Structure 1
Amino acid sequence: MAQTQGTGKGKGTDRSDRSLAGLVGRAFGRLGRWGGLVFLLAGLALSGWGAYEGAYLAGWAGTHGTLTVKQCEVSYPNNASRSSHKNRRPVRCEGTFVSDDGKGRDAAAAVQVRHRYADGAELSVQQTDAPTTATSADGDYVQGGMDRAWRFFGAFFGGWVLTGLGVFCLATGYAPFGQSRVSYDEAWDAAGRGVTRWIMLGMIGAGLAGAGVSFLVSYFV
């Protein structure tokens, strides 16, 4: 008897879970163009972030110069043991930054790097933001590297995929999740009557190819 009651409760729970999942799916499915707008904005944000970070790491933006190390220290994340983070320690090196043209100088420069450097070591860095005053310590610096830059360029192209999907959903009202009010076939036919389909295919194809090539190149530079 106990087993029968337990089985009944289990079935009731399964039905409730399925009903809840169905409600959530229908709610998301009705988003349609709102969901497309979310994809579009997310794609643009991802592409912008990837381009911004990648440009600085590649040395295409900001002010390039040399940071002469005075000291480096490892800062461990809160509530984490040292041993659990020994392979991914954030290291902060402080020192004096001098731009390549000699016009920019910051005696209180600091940069996050992958490992410790000896005092007096010269690091090639990019100044993303200059200090507000000659004595302030609020300048921002990054240690450049084409391997890291290419990974951010991969994110830049990855944003194209979301943007292309957003354009498709925004133009047709199709939602790729839940029970969409507009079927995929209807949306595909509607997109083909203008340039929407070609824009979507072009952006998704270029995004996937660009992201794949960027991540591949990052392992060989």
Structure 2
Amino acid sequence: MAQTQGTAQGKGVDRSLAGLVGRAFGRLGRAGGLVFLLAGLALSGWGAYEGAYLAGWAGTHGTLTVKQCEVSYPNNASRSHRKDRRPIRCEGSFVPDDGKSTDAGAAVQVRQRYAPGTELSVQQTSAATTSTSADGDYVQSGMDRAWRFFSAFFGGWVLTGLGVFCLATGYAPFGRSRISFDAAWEAAGRGVTRAIVIGMLGVGLVGAGVSFLVSYFV
């Protein structure tokens, strides 16, 4: 009798413990989904922002006439990292296409040195505060680089789709999950979650792949 009661109590403790573990992993799955969702939105926003400027769709387009170019290392870069990246900063005068708000102290980060007098197609992302200050921001225009950022934009859709799936079902894609993938996928099919996830993953993967490939042909 005592042994039977002890066994029943043990099973009760086991079920209670299993329930606690299950709820914990359910929360872990949704927490991971939130991380995926935020990371995806951030990646897509960053890719769209940078890509729009590099493609010339945002900001003010104009010409920067190079005065000098020099290697510019970030202050916090390690010696090996400096040797690998070797960023180049070209300074000169910027003239927008409309001929207004010129900047004689413009500077832009580029991938190679240019001879003095070279005219670079650049995009002004923010204007200088005054006509004599050198605090304007510029990027070198180029559709090849723009398409790579668009690839990152679509890559963010993949992370966002995974985030939606994990948030909606509680599935944890890492470690031990409270709910199996098959059960989570079946649950997602009862509403619009599965269609949303498939759509986002499909658009993200195809868009990222096509954008990356196009960057090598433009």
Question: CA deviation digits over 1:90-116, x for unaligned, max 9?
Answer: 111111101000112111100011111
Number of residues of Structure 1 aligned to a counterpart in Structure 2: 194
Contact 1:30 1:179 in 2 (8 A): no
By how many angstroms is 1:30 displaced? 5.1
Q: Helix, strand or coil: the match of 2:109?
A: strand
CA distance, structure 2, for counterparts of residue 217 and residue 96 of structure 1: 32
Please name the residue that 1:31 is paired with. Answer: 28
Question: Is the counterpart of residue 191 in structure 1 residue 188 in structure 2?
Answer: yes
Contact 1:73 1:116 in 2 (8 A): yes
Runs of 4+, deviation exceeding 3 Å: 27-30, 76-79, 81-85
Please name the residue that 1:80 is paired with. Answer: 79
Contact 2:101 2:131 in 1 (8 A): no
State the identity %: 83
Counterparts in 2 of 1:83 and 1:42: CA distance versus 1, 3 Å = closer
Q: 2:90 aligns with which of 90, 93, 99?
A: 93
Specify the code of the residue in structure 2 equivalent to 1:196: T
Question: Is the counterpart of residue 104 in structure 1 residue 101 in structure 2?
Answer: yes
Please name the residue that 1:215 is paired with. Answer: 212
By how many angstroms is 1:84 displaced? 4.1
Counterparts in 2 of 1:81 and 1:38: CA distance versus 1, 3 Å = closer
Specify the code of the residue in structure 2 equivalent to 1:91: I
Q: Helix, strand or coil: the match of 1:31?
A: helix
Q: Please, what is the CA RMSD of the aligned residues? A: 1.9
Q: Helix, strand or coil: the match of 1:111?
A: strand
Question: Is the counterpart of residue 45 in structure 1 residue 42 in structure 2?
Answer: yes
Question: Is the counterpart of residue 176 in structure 1 residue 186 in structure 2?
Answer: no
TM-score norm. by structure 2 comes to 0.84
By how many angstroms is 1:76 displaced? 3.9
Please name the residue that 1:58 is paired with. Answer: 55
CA distance, structure 1, for counterparts of residue 215 and residue 67 of structure 2: 31
Q: Helix, strand or coil: the match of 1:220?
A: coil
Contact 2:25 2:178 in 1 (8 A): no
Q: 1:137 aligns with which of 100, 124, 134?
A: 134
